[in-house]
Amino acid sequence: MSSPAKKVDLRRARGEDTRVLILDAARDALAEDGYARTTTRAIADRADVQLSLVHYHFRGKQHLLAEVLKRENERLLERQRALFAGPETLAEKWRTACAYLSEDLRSGYVRILWELWAVGLADEELAGHWRDAIAGWRNLLTGVAEEWKAELDFDLPISPRALATLVGNAFLGAEAEILAGVTEQEAPHVAALESIGELIDWAERRSRDDDR
């Protein structure tokens, strides 16, 4: 068992390593310097790799960035799925989700998401990847909203789909403003999102009261 008939092509393994190296470098470059300063050369420098390797492993800048978006998004989407699958109340989960926002702002993921949104303005293919990424979040939110509505004993004056869209858009808008440099002092972005948690509490209390 210690030496199974594993056929690892050392060349391919090495290649895969550089691939990851380049992906990480591209992610860091986007998060720290933004797209404008993220040239294929800057990425190659960061990865300490020859420029042509970027074109060898990925077909070019466009495809590289698309993979960066996909990888980072799936990672965080998985975390979010795990959160909402947990046993806590929705209000508690919501508060955690708000905490994640601050975390993702610090880590640079939010900036990556929006830098690539901006690229999508002039690059329909990348815009498509961005839509795919966001669709993941929207589907998750919609599922949560539907479950929640089913649990409540009274009718919400808004459909779960519209509610999920509204809440998701509020998140996106807050991210955009924060990235533009609008401070929490000028506009209470996070505080406003957290207050949604209180609205959830309020609705659930009302639902419990109806039970009595």
Partner DNA sequence: TTATTAATCGGTCAACCGACCAATCTTCTC
Partner DNA sequence: GAGAAGATTGGTCGGTTGACCGATTAATAA
DSSP single-letter state for residue 3: S
Smallest distance from the beta carbon of 13 to its own copies, in angstroms? Answer: 37
Tell me the CA end-to-end span of the chain in Å, nearest whole number: 63
Return the one option of its own copies, DNA, none that residue 99 interacts with (CB less than 5 to 8 A, by type).
none
Residues near its own copies, by CB under 8 A: 34-37, 111, 114-115, 117-118, 120-122, 124, 127-128, 130-131, 134-135, 138, 157-159, 161-163, 165-166, 168-174, 176-177, 179-182, 186-189, 191-193, 195-196, 198-199, 202
Return the one option of its own copies, DNA, none that residue 186 interacts with (CB less than 5 to 8 A, by type).
its own copies
Per CB under 7 A, the list member of 34, 39, 105, 136 interacting with DNA is 39
Any contact of residue 61 with DNA (CB under 7 A)?
A: yes
In the block, residue with structure tokens 């589907």? 139
Q: CB–CB of 141/193 below 8 Å?
A: no
The alpha carbon of 201 is separated from its chain's Cα centroid by a whole number of angstroms, namely: 26
Return the one option of its own copies, DNA, none that residue 9 interacts with (CB less than 5 to 8 A, by type).
DNA
Cα distances (angstroms) measured from residue 44 to each of 9, 15, 24, 50, 192: 24, 15, 11, 6, 41
Smallest distance from the beta carbon of 50 to its own copies, in angstroms? Answer: 26
Residue closer to its own copies (CB basis): 60 or 173: 173
Any contact of residue 60 with DNA (CB under 7 A)?
A: yes
DSSP result, 40-82: HHHHHHHHT--HHHHHHHSSSHHHHHHHHHHHHHHHHHHHHHH
Per CB under 7 A, the list member of 24, 28, 34, 42 interacting with DNA is 42
Any contact of residue 45 with DNA (CB under 7 A)?
A: no
Any contact of residue 149 with DNA (CB under 7 A)?
A: no
Return the one option of DNA, its own copies, none that residue 127 interacts with (CB less than 5 to 8 A, by type).
its own copies
* Assigned token pair, 162: 């519209």
- What is the rounded CA–CA span in Å between residue 71 and residue 30? 14
